[in-house]
Copies of this chain bind each other. A is one copy, B any other.
C-alpha cells in the first residue's frame, strides 16, 4: 500500500461520511495509526479535508444528508469517481418513462444523481435509493416490502409472494462484489437473496462494477456470467478481463472516467 493509495482511500471515505476515525482508516488501509495521522495531517495542510480529534471530516458538508448517521459500510466507499461515471453511463441507457429495476448497492446508489432530472418508473429494494429519488426527483418510485436491514440498506422480504413478483422491467441494474469467469460474486448472503429476487423480473441484466471488482474473489456466486447482458465498468479494466467479458457474450461499456470527472463535486 503506497501513500497515494492511502490518500485516495482516506479522501473517498471522508467524502461519504461526516467523519472517519483514525481506527477505521487503519483497518481500511492496513496502516498504523501513526501513518494515518501523518496522512491526515498532510491532507489537512493540502486543504483536502479537515483534521479533527479522532479522525478527519470533509471540508464541505455531506451532500447526502439523507444518509447521515447511517452510511454504507466504509469499505464500500472507495472508487467514488469511477462509480459515478459508471452510474452515469447506466442512466444514459434508459429513456424517460421507462420502468427500471435498481438493486441496492453503493455503485447503483450513484444512479440517483443522474436520475434526478429524469422521470422514470423505478423499482428498488434499496431504502436510500428510494428515499433519495423520492425527495430529489420526480421519478415514480416503487419499493419492495419487508424488513429494512440497516447495515445493508436494503428491504428484503422473507416471503416469496411480495410485490417484487408483480413488477417487470426491461432492464435491471445491479452491482456486485466481484466478477470472475465463474460468475458474478457477492459477499453478503442477504444481498444475494435480494438480488436473486429481482433477477428474473427483467429481460436484461446490467451489471455495474468498477474495475477493481475484477480482482475481488468473494465466496458466493450470485449467477453465471452468461446471465449478464451488459457490463459497465471504468477505464481501469485490463485486456484479459475485457476479453473474458466479451467471450461471455456480454456487451461491455467502458465509462469514460477522465474527462467527465472533474466537474463532479460529491
Kindly state whether residue A72 has any CB partner on chain B within 8 Å. no
B143 touches A3 (CB 8 A): no
CB distance from A148 to the nearest CB of B (A): 5
Against B, the Cβ 8 Å flags (1 = close, 0 = not) of A129-143 are 011001110001111
B142 touches A148 (CB 8 A): yes
A142 touches B150 (CB 8 A): no
Kindly state whether residue A12 has any CB partner on chain B within 8 Å. yes
Determine the chain B residues whose CB is within 8 A of the CB of A142 once the complex forms: 145-148
Q: How far is the CA of A70 from the CA of B142 in the complex (A)?
A: 17
Residues facing B in A151-185 (CB within 8 A) are 155, 157-159, 161-166
State the main secondary structure of chain A at its contact with B: mixed
Kindly state whether residue A238 has any CB partner on chain B within 8 Å. no
Q: How far is the CA of A234 from the CA of B18 in the complex (A)?
A: 41
A144 touches B145 (CB 8 A): yes
A134 touches B70 (CB 8 A): yes
A65 touches B12 (CB 8 A): yes
Against B, the Cβ 8 Å flags (1 = close, 0 = not) of A111-135 are 0000000000000000100110011
Determine the chain B residues whose CB is within 8 A of the CB of A4 once the complex forms: 18-19, 52, 54, 57
- Which residues of A are in contact with B by a Cβ distance under 8 Å? 2-5, 8-9, 12, 18-19, 21, 52-55, 57, 65, 68-70, 127, 130-131, 134-136, 140-148, 150, 155, 157-159, 161-166
Q: Known pairs A3-B54, A8-B68, A12-B69; list 19 more (Cβ under 8 Å).
A: A2-B19, A2-B21, A2-B54, A8-B18, A9-B69, A69-B135, A69-B136, A70-B134, A127-B131, A130-B148, A141-B147, A142-B145, A142-B146, A142-B147, A145-B145, A145-B163, A157-B163, A162-B162, A162-B163
